[in-house]
Structure 1
Amino acid sequence: MPSGTAPPLASLVVNVSEAPSRQVWDGTVEAVHAAVLMAQTDARVLELPYDVNDVVPKGAVLVRFSNVEQKSATRAAQAQIASARADFVNAGANFKRLAAIYPQGYVSKAAYDQALAQRNAAKGVLDAAQAQWRETGQAEKYTVVRAPYAGVITRRYVQVGEAVAGPPFPQQLIAIASLRDLRVDVKVPQSVAEAIRRSGTAEVQFDGGRERLAASSVTVFPYADPATHTFSVRLELSGGAAGLYPGMTVRAVFAIGEAKQLLVPLGALVERGELQGVYVIEGDRVSLRQLRTGDVVGDRIQVLAGLDNGERIATDPAAAARWLIAQRHRAVR
């Protein structure tokens, strides 16, 4: 190639331009729906099908208790209902018989009233027995604890064989968090809280910045921590945020104004381990230049050091690398 002739590579001149000024803070992923399931009956743990970090579907059995006492109470309640029903039927039949002959004066008013009271009392006993049966049946249902929604087990408080207590002081059993709806909690300095509130936009970055999600809403809570003078900011994420799990640390990126920045396309970036660079074209020469980069802005990345305003870079780093190899081969010949 004649001296001074630019290489036949796709390129562009990078220039300082106005771009969103972004600030980054670490945030913690939280589950919107999370619960600690409590014991609702006195029993002994027989089975714990899942352990911490297991993902479970909605309705999965998380804890199974012994139910001998509950079954016995249910059978006793059923027997009480049968006895109470028999008494009610007899009292009802007696009252019906007296009610039929009472208008003819064959029975006294006192006998009639007594029969009516006996029927009503028997009905009350039957109603109480049925209520007791429903209560014991519910207690038996409490011996099986199911997942209220699909999620991940975050903590287990009991072991197989352990006796647990129900109300009035119920014991904690299992903590579960839904993976469907997630949010990020961020603590930001009070100096930027108002700018974040006005902007109302944010982006969550994880997996080394390779994965990015736009927050569906941004809430700056209207009070500061008096110890740290920071505001809590909540970033809501749309359902199904793949790759994010409760407890993870992520980067929360906020756009809080405009600033002059030097940006290069992400496609022009060369990454070798933790090093980043671009192929710089100077006349007929091409060289790989290491960069210190900042935040990703759309499909471009901020250059903090290593590149000057007005320099030309190759937009296809693979083609630039092949061109350099070909040049070296020619030089050897």
Structure 2
Amino acid sequence: MTRVFRLLLGGIAAALISLSVQAEIPATEVERATLQETLRLDGMIEAVQRSTVSAQTSGRVLRLPFDVDDRVAAGELILQLEDSEQRARRDQAEAGLEEAQARLRDARQRFTRVQSLHQRNLISQQEFDQARNALTSAQAGVSRAGAALAEAREQLEYTRVLAPYDGILTERHVEIGESVSPGQPLLTGLSLEKLRVVVDLPQRYAGLARTRRQARVTRADGRPLETGEMTFYPYASEQTHTFRLRLALPTPGEDLYPGMLVKVDVPVAAREALWVPASTVFHHSELTAVFVLDDQDRPRLRQVRTGVERDGRVEVLAGLDEGERVATTPDALFGSERLDAAKEGARN
């Protein structure tokens, strides 16, 4: 019984080995496809709206409700100047307007009386002209007084500096108690609602990139970013001799901020290349190889030289020809009966 049992086990093992040797090896063909060569550059995210608010009137800083890095809403007060001088000018201008309006009423009443007398030929033409000219002058005086009042009110408004848009304060150029004059920078801020990517292109690639108008932007972790309108600057930097490319970000998201670095891939050339799945290539020390299947589906080790890797595929620079079949799971062949059979066939 023991001998028969052993013979039975030996037969079963031989059958299993035979099936393992004859099992079909998963394989794929070497394909030829176009390789789009790209230039990878470091880009930076910047705010579309970034501005410095300057003083439009003179005065002393009374209030600074927000500090650097604070968020502000559009229309919020971000700086208050002492306004006693501007209020006095406004009050004076209002009084001047009232006085001019009173003179206009007197001139209009006098002209009405003179006009009635002139129509009855009771006064001379000269007196009539004088009354009419006085009315015109009074009307002009009201216009001047109104303009002076508008200017005084505007100067008073300039003492209250409001945020031009929703954003973040990035710099404060003055402190409470300082006296400022028109044109002096007060606060700098930016908006996070509209962002864009800027990148500098080397001069040799600028013409091709401008013609193709294609670029791919990815975050530091590899996630792609949706981009919109692409703008090429029509001049080069005098320092670096590079051309600036700007890409809009229609939906920047909450995790993107000005100053962050991103990767920008710009197509610069196209050529034909041989491709195999990345899973077919294995590396051991300095060896890079694949298993090529012959006409009898026997795997044979072949060294290859590879290039770029894109979307799960590897470019083959040397070692393979188009149409050859390579094993898709090379790791499974190591130590297998199929590989031993291939070695034995090669020796015979």
Q: TM-score, normalising length from structure 1?
A: 0.71
Cα distance in 1 for partners of 2:135, 2:89 equals 27
Residue aligning to 1:29 = 45
What amino acid maps onto 1:187 in structure 2? D
Cα distance in 2 for partners of 1:51, 1:14 equals 64
- Decide whether the 8 Å contact of 1:29 with 1:185 is kept in 2: yes
Residue aligning to 1:131 = 147
- Count of residue pairs brought into register by the alignment: 277
What amino acid maps onto 1:202 in structure 2? A
Cα distance in 2 for partners of 1:302, 1:26 equals 24
Please state if 1:145 is matched with 2:149. no
Cα distance change, pair 120–20 in 1 and its aligned pair in 2 (3 A): same
Residue aligning to 1:203 = 216
Deviation at 1:304, TM superposition (A): 9.2
| Structure 1, unaligned runs of 5 or more | 6-10, 269-292, 315-333
Please list the CA deviations of residues 120-176 of structure 1 after superposition, one character each: whole Å capped at 9, or x if unmatched. Answer: 22222221111100000111111112222222222221112211101xxx1111222
Cα distance change, pair 223–126 in 1 and its aligned pair in 2 (3 A): closer
Residue aligning to 1:246 = 258
Residue aligning to 1:214 = 226
Q: What secondary structure is seen at the aligned counterpart in 2 of 1:107?
A: coil
Residue aligning to 2:170 = 154
Cα distance in 1 for partners of 2:242, 2:144 equals 57
Residue aligning to 1:74 = 90
Cα distance change, pair 87–261 in 1 and its aligned pair in 2 (3 A): farther
Deviation at 1:32, TM superposition (A): 2.2
- Decide whether the 8 Å contact of 1:216 with 1:235 is kept in 2: yes
What amino acid maps onto 1:255 in structure 2? P
Please state if 1:59 is matched with 2:59. no
Deviation at 1:98, TM superposition (A): 1.3
Match of 1:225 among 237, 244, 253: 237
Q: What secondary structure is seen at the aligned counterpart in 2 of 1:74?
A: helix
Higher strand proportion (structure 1 or 2): 1
Deviation at 1:247, TM superposition (A): 2.2
Residue aligning to 2:190 = 177
- Decide whether the 8 Å contact of 1:45 with 1:159 is kept in 2: yes
Q: What secondary structure is seen at the aligned counterpart in 1 of 2:176?
A: coil
Cα distance in 2 for partners of 1:223, 1:151 equals 31
Deviation at 1:28, TM superposition (A): 1.9
Cα distance in 2 for partners of 1:199, 1:30 equals 24
Cα distance in 2 for partners of 1:311, 1:37 equals 66
Q: What secondary structure is seen at the aligned counterpart in 1 of 2:117?
A: helix
Cα distance in 2 for partners of 1:261, 1:53 equals 52
Cα distance change, pair 213–90 in 1 and its aligned pair in 2 (3 A): same
- Decide whether the 8 Å contact of 1:189 with 1:229 is kept in 2: yes
Please state if 1:193 is matched with 2:223. no
Cα distance change, pair 68–263 in 1 and its aligned pair in 2 (3 A): farther
Please list the CA deviations of residues 176-208 of structure 1 after superposition, one character each: whole Å capped at 9, or x if unmatched. Answer: 222222222211222222332233111222242
Deviation at 1:12, TM superposition (A): 9.0
Which moves more between the two structures, 15-24 or 248-257? 15-24
Q: What secondary structure is seen at the aligned counterpart in 1 of 2:259?
A: coil
Cα distance in 2 for partners of 1:129, 1:123 equals 10
Residue aligning to 1:328 = none
Superposition RMSD in Å = 3.5
Deviation at 1:72, TM superposition (A): 1.2
Cα distance change, pair 141–215 in 1 and its aligned pair in 2 (3 A): same
Cα distance in 1 for partners of 2:133, 2:46 equals 61
Deviation at 1:16, TM superposition (A): 6.9
| Structure 2, unaligned runs of 5 or more | 1-15, 21-25, 280-306, 321-325, 331-348
Please list the CA deviations of residues 232-263 of structure 1 after superposition, one character each: whole Å capped at 9, or x if unmatched. Answer: 22222224444222222221122334464868
- Decide whether the 8 Å contact of 1:13 with 1:313 is kept in 2: no
Cα distance in 2 for partners of 1:158, 1:14 equals 70
What amino acid maps onto 2:132 in structure 1? L
Cα distance in 2 for partners of 1:250, 1:184 equals 8
What amino acid maps onto 1:223 in structure 2? Y
Q: TM-score, normalising length from structure 2?
A: 0.68
- Decide whether the 8 Å contact of 2:226 with 2:251 is kept in 1: no
Cα distance change, pair 313–237 in 1 and its aligned pair in 2 (3 A): farther
Q: What secondary structure is seen at the aligned counterpart in 2 of 1:98?
A: helix
